[in-house]
Structure 1
Amino acid sequence: MIMMSGRRILRLSFDLPPDADAELPERLRRLLEDFTPRAQLLEDGALVDLTGATRWWQRDARGITELVQLRALAYFGVRSSAGVAGTPMLAAMACALTPLGRRTVIDDSPEAISAFLRPRPVRELPGVGGKTAALLGEYGLHTVGDVADVPQQTLQRLLGARAGRALHEHARGHDTTVVDPTPAPASLSTEHRFPRDELDPAEHRRALLALADDLGARLRASGQIATGVTCTIRYADLSATRRSRTLPEATQHTVLLARAAYAVYDSLGLQRARVRSIALRADVLRPADRAARQLTLDAGDDKPLVIEAVADRARARYGRQVLYPAALAISSRPPSARQWDRGDRPDDARGRRVT
């Protein structure tokens, strides 16, 4: 049974320019807060609760969304796609299907929600990755409607109690997520864009190492440690997969960040995927003096960290190009990167040249 929520949630996806000002995300936040205080910035856009704003602005959710998009373009030159629905999940799904400069609005009625949701591929539901979609497909559950018609107990036997219950709720359009205007914990991000859609897993892993090396150097320079990493992979069809992993212990060391990044990448099970870009984010940063390190009897674990400290001193004196991981020396092609900090705000676009 599909229920109406009474809410009107706007999901925006921003197309930020590569050379965007570091203050642009904060300016976009202030623009959204001109309409409602319930605005939450995300990694690639924003989530806005318009429920209480429609009466004040004497416009429906579509009208407010058009005004938000127009002001973002006029004031800051930022184009966006938008989805409006009764829940954040439905708004995000609608936004993902909407071209830049356009908007998709799902009326808050059972008929409209069902018409949008039921034909969608099951992999578009949150929490459904490639392996879960393949497992459901083996039982003939290819669309959201297929899943919605299956008893919750059946899904729980297939996926486990928690995952089955969540999938059962999502397939019926239920989502109790709220818009949280509290700023997200500080983070650092960097992105590698391939010059062409890349099929080679070795190149994917090489890019991950370069990203981990960049994040590690920036964390150490700023005296911070990360408690987790998030890897975002964008494909040739403009879809994306995002996976996060909590680190066994908070760290700022390249070798440990790279291990975590490799583990996230391997968990995706990509086979011959045409990858357009890979982004790596260090999550929930804390001061480095709060780091605790697990003792080990293996002296070999300390060797990379000693080398890293020497490399940092050499780089500080002679520049970033003087030392780098050997795996990055197999090609002279310069990777291009976009980097963000403090809640994924774009700050610069530094290319890293490997000689």
Structure 2
Amino acid sequence: MKQGNSTSTIFHADLDAFYVEVERQYDHSLLGKPVIVGGMGPRGVVATASYEAREFGVHSAQPTTIARKLCPQGYFLPGNHSLYSEVSKKFMHILRRYSPTVLSVSIDEAYLDMSGTKEIYGPPIGAAETIRQNIRDSIGLPVSIGIGPNKLVAKVCTEYAKPDGIFQIEQIGAERFFAPQPVRNLPGIGPKAEKALNNLKIFTLGEVAMAPDGLLRRALGPNRAGHIKSRAKGIDNTPLQEPRRAKSMSAETTFDADISSQSEMEVALKKLIERVGTRLRKSGNVARGVSIKLRFRDFATITRQHTLTTPSDGDQTIYQTAQALLLTAMRERNESIRLIGISVTGLDQRATQLSLLDSHSKTDSDTSLALDAIRERFGFKSISRGT
């Protein structure tokens, strides 16, 4: 079913401050206190902050050292990922009682297609309240639910439902609802696109919707302009269906001129891994293997692969493995290359593998997720790990 259809009803359910609220279930003394979950070391970053901690300026993806200065009275916790995984599975199980079509997009949020369920569960607001209460009674967690005619509108509505509420916009009111909002509120508009639009005196989604196509192409590029303009009106025709589970993910780059420097190869490899790693974590998977691909100046191509001892979605683990494979390959054939590629293989759902991760893998995973959040907020090139 196309989600632009006015008869579609899509829910977006998002557990509020998930890690914090799970911790509070097991330690009631944390209720009402500023709680921060994340890395505890000097390079640690905040994974989740309670609403009480956010009042002090603490937010996700922030270095823990800064969070401690902003909120010295806060309760800082390292997190319990195996516990979060178990709670997440219970959350998804509850959602599937209400709809056969549930699209999990992360450990704590999912979309539900509730189209045609009015006769069973009543009007959408009432159905959402029933789901919220079931989640509260079953796992004790607050959940915010956005309701819309498509995934886009439902997602934006969730931000207005927070914390622990329900918010609905129907298709007839979607464009009017979107119009006054700043362009950055539209999922898919990052800081770079926001700046380009602002430079053209376009600040709201209503102004995006009314802008000449040529102007938008200048700001967003010819391939994105029309898509963003439709979304600025609350139009989203992407179907709600679980994608086929990929067995691998990869990226590669061809150099303008052949390179022979190992340091140049490693820099290129790191950049590719950051992009593949971001996709891997966004998909909710971990990898069991890493593979590199090298193409030499005579077009001969080789691949080298390694199976990880512990499944991982962390950039550092992937990079260290790929770097070792690169060194081995270059010892075998120390010549300049024209192409380098990286693949992560043997993908499996992260939620089912978290309990297998050792402390190093969890730290690597958490740090990589935090960097993803920073890039999502400030642009992909805003931050990178050193090699």
- Shorter-chain TM range is 0.5 to 0.7
Gaps of 5+ in 1: 187-224, 229-245, 266-277, 298-304, 316-324, 326-340
Alignment-derived partner of residue 351 in structure 2: 345
1:71–1:248 CA distance, 2 compared to 1 (3 A) = farther
Structure 1 window deviating more from structure 2 (150-159 vs 132-141): it is 150-159
Alignment-derived partner of residue 294 in structure 1: 294
1:267-311 per-residue CA deviation (whole Å, 9 max, x = no partner) reads: xxxxxxxxxxx998285667649x4632558xxxxxxx99x99xx
Q: Is the 8 A contact 1:41 1:183 kept in 2?
A: no
Q: Is the 8 A contact 2:287 2:348 kept in 1?
A: no
Q: 2:112 aligns with which of 5, 30, 48?
A: 48
1:342–1:27 CA distance, 2 compared to 1 (3 A) = farther
Q: Is the 8 A contact 2:150 2:236 kept in 1?
A: yes
Instruction: Report 1:327-342 matches (<5 A).
Output: 342=348
1:185–1:96 CA distance, 2 compared to 1 (3 A) = farther
Gaps of 5+ in 2: 23-78, 255-265, 298-303, 311-319, 321-346, 365-387
Q: 1:174 aligns with which of 235, 247, 272?
A: 235
Q: What is the alpha-carbon distance in structure 2 between the residues aligned to residue 54 and residue 102 of structure 1? A: 20
Instruction: Report 1:295-310 matches (<5 A).
Output: 295=295
Amino acid at match of 1:141: I
Amino acid at match of 1:147: V
1:264–1:30 CA distance, 2 compared to 1 (3 A) = closer
Shift of 1:102: 0.9
RMSD: 4.1
Q: 2:89 aligns with which of 26, 38, 44?
A: 26
Instruction: Report 1:65-80 matches (<5 A).
Output: 65-80=128-143
Matched, 1:37 2:100: yes
1:36–1:263 CA distance, 2 compared to 1 (3 A) = closer
Shift of 1:8: 1.1
1:344–1:12 CA distance, 2 compared to 1 (3 A) = farther
Q: 1:185 aligns with which of 241, 245, 266?
A: 245
What is the DSSP-based 3-state SS (H/G/I as helix, E as strand, rest coil) of the residue aligned with 1:72? helix
1:325-345 per-residue CA deviation (whole Å, 9 max, x = no partner) reads: 9xxxxxxxxxxxxxxx94342
Q: What is the alpha-carbon distance in structure 2 between the residues aligned to residue 11 and residue 23 of structure 1? A: 21
What is the DSSP-based 3-state SS (H/G/I as helix, E as strand, rest coil) of the residue aligned with 2:111? strand
Shift of 1:257: 7.2
Shift of 1:157: 3.8
Shift of 1:104: 1.1
Amino acid at match of 2:7: G
1:99–1:286 CA distance, 2 compared to 1 (3 A) = closer
Q: Is the 8 A contact 1:184 1:343 kept in 2?
A: no
Q: What is the alpha-carbon distance in structure 2 between the residues aligned to residue 279 and residue 167 of structure 1? A: 21
1:197-226 per-residue CA deviation (whole Å, 9 max, x = no partner) reads: xxxxxxxxxxxxxxxxxxxxxxxxxxxx95
Q: Is the 8 A contact 1:227 1:247 kept in 2?
A: no
Structure 1 window deviating more from structure 2 (341-350 vs 122-131): it is 341-350
1:343–1:263 CA distance, 2 compared to 1 (3 A) = closer
Number of equivalenced pairs: 244
1:157–1:248 CA distance, 2 compared to 1 (3 A) = closer
Shift of 1:156: 2.3
1:128-184 per-residue CA deviation (whole Å, 9 max, x = no partner) reads: 11111111101111000111111334322432222101111111111001111x366
Q: 1:123 aligns with which of 180, 184, 209?
A: 184
Shift of 1:36: 1.2
Q: 1:63 aligns with which of 111, 126, 141?
A: 126
Instruction: Report 1:6-17 matches (<5 A).
Output: 6-14=7-15, 15-16=18-19, 17=22
Q: Is the 8 A contact 2:286 2:349 kept in 1?
A: no
